[in-house]
Amino acid sequence: MATRIMDEAAKVFADPKSYTDEAALHAALTHLRANAPVSWVDVPNYRPFWAITKHADIMAIERANTLFTNSPRPVLTTAAGDDQQAAIGVKTLIHHDDPEHRAIRAIGADWFRPKAMRALKVRVDELAKRYVDQMVAAGPECDFVQEVAVNYPLYVIMSMLGIPESDFPQMLKYTQELFGTDDEEMQRSSSIEESMGVLLEMFAYFNELTAARRATPTEDLASAIANATIDGEPLSDIDTVSYYLIIATAGHDTTSAVISGGLHALIEHPEQRRRLRDNMDLMPLAAEEMIRWVTPVKEFMRTAQQDTEVRGVPIAAGESVLLSYVSSNRDEDVFDEPFRFDVGREPNKHNAFGYGVHFCLGAALARMEVNSFFSELIPRLNEIELTGDPAYTATIFVGGPKHLPIRYSLK
Ligand code: HEM
One DSSP character per residue, 114-160 reads HHHHHHHHHHHHHHHHHHHHHHHHHTTEEEHIIIIITHHHHHHHHHH
Atom of ligand 1 nearest to the CA of 367: 1
Tell me the CB-side half-sphere exposure of residue 44, using CA atoms within 13 A.
0
Query: Sign of the CA dihedral 119, 125, 131, 137?
Result: negative
Domain assignment of residue 179, given as a range = 8-35+45-410
Q: Which of 11-25, 123-137, 190-204, 299-313 has the lowest mean pLDDT?
A: 190-204
CA distance readout (Å), 350 to 39, 55, 290, 310: 22, 9, 10, 20
User: What mean pLDDT is predicted for residues 334-348?
Assistant: 98
Separation of 110 CA from ligand 1 center, angstroms? Answer: 15
Separation of 332 CA from ligand 1 center, angstroms? Answer: 25
Q: Residue whose CA is closest, atom 14 of ligand 1? A: 354
Give pLDDT, residue 136.
95
Residue 142's pLDDT band (cuts 50, 70, 90): very high
Residue 2 has pLDDT above 70, yes or no: no
The percent of residues above 70 in pLDDT, for the chain, comes to 99
Give pLDDT, residue 1.
47
- 1 lies in some domain: no
- Residue among 92, 221, 353 to mutate when testing ligand 1 (max atoms within 8 A of CB): 353
Q: Is 142 in the pocket of ligand 1 (CB under 6 A)?
A: no
User: What mean pLDDT is predicted for residues 24-47?
Assistant: 97
Q: Is 355 in the pocket of ligand 1 (CB under 6 A)?
A: yes
Q: Is 63 in the pocket of ligand 1 (CB under 6 A)?
A: no
3-class DSSP assignment, residue 80: helix
Where is pLDDT greater, at 92 or 89?
Answer: 92
Q: Is 248 in the pocket of ligand 1 (CB under 6 A)?
A: no
Atom of ligand 1 nearest to the CA of 70: 15
- 140 lies in some domain: yes
Where is pLDDT greater, at 190 or 5?
Answer: 5
- 218 lies in some domain: yes
- 260 lies in some domain: yes
- 153 lies in some domain: yes
Residue 293's pLDDT band (cuts 50, 70, 90): very high
- pLDDT per residue as tens digits for the range 358-389: 999 999 999 999 999 999 999 999 999 999 99
Residue 3's pLDDT band (cuts 50, 70, 90): low
Give pLDDT, residue 12.
97
Separation of 380 CA from ligand 1 center, angstroms? Answer: 30
Give pLDDT, residue 194.
73
Output the domain CATH number for residue 367: 1.10.630.10
- pLDDT per residue as tens digits for the range 161-198: 999 999 999 998 988 888 777 888 887 777 777 777 88
User: What mean pLDDT is predicted for residues 307-311?
Assistant: 98
Q: Is 254 in the pocket of ligand 1 (CB under 6 A)?
A: yes
- 242 lies in some domain: yes
- Residue among 300, 360, 374 to mutate when testing ligand 1 (max atoms within 8 A of CB): 360
**151-185 burial: b if 16+ Cβ within 10 Å, else e:** bbbbbbbbbbbbbeeeebeebbebbbbbbbbbbee
Query: What φ, ψ does residue 126 adopt, rounded to 5°?
Result: -60, -40
DSSP 315-351: E-TT-EEEEEHHHHTT-TTTSSSTTS--TT--S----
The percent of residues above 90 in pLDDT, for the chain, comes to 86
Q: Is 354 in the pocket of ligand 1 (CB under 6 A)?
A: yes
Q: Is 301 in the pocket of ligand 1 (CB under 6 A)?
A: no
- pLDDT per residue as tens digits for the range 39-70: 999 999 999 999 999 999 999 999 999 999 99
Paired residues of 120 in beta bridges: none
Residue 22 has pLDDT above 60, yes or no: yes
- 3 lies in some domain: no
Separation of 272 CA from ligand 1 center, angstroms? Answer: 27
Give pLDDT, residue 208.
93
- Whats the size of the chain, residue-wise? 411
Separation of 250 CA from ligand 1 center, angstroms? Answer: 6
Residue 71's pLDDT band (cuts 50, 70, 90): very high
Cis peptide preceding 347, ω within 30 of 0 = yes
CA distance readout (Å), 50 to 54, 171, 313, 359, 399: 12, 34, 10, 21, 22
C-alpha 288/C-alpha 349 separation (Å) is 9
Q: Is 397 in the pocket of ligand 1 (CB under 6 A)?
A: no
Give pLDDT, residue 6.
93
Domains in the chain, number: 1
- 40 lies in some domain: no
- pLDDT per residue as tens digits for the range 213-256: 999 999 999 999 999 999 999 999 889 999 999 998 898 999 99
Separation of 165 CA from ligand 1 center, angstroms? Answer: 23
Q: Is 247 in the pocket of ligand 1 (CB under 6 A)?
A: yes
Q: Residue whose CA is closest, atom 32 of ligand 1? A: 362
C-alpha 395/C-alpha 195 separation (Å) is 14
Helix axes 363-380, 114-138, angle to 10 degrees: 40
How many angstroms from the chain centroid is the CA of residue 369? 14
Q: Is 356 in the pocket of ligand 1 (CB under 6 A)?
A: yes
Closest CA to 20 of 390, 297, 394: 394
- The rounded mean pLDDT for the chain is 94
C-alpha 252/C-alpha 248 separation (Å) is 7
User: What mean pLDDT is predicted for residues 88-92?
Assistant: 88
Q: Is 90 in the pocket of ligand 1 (CB under 6 A)?
A: no
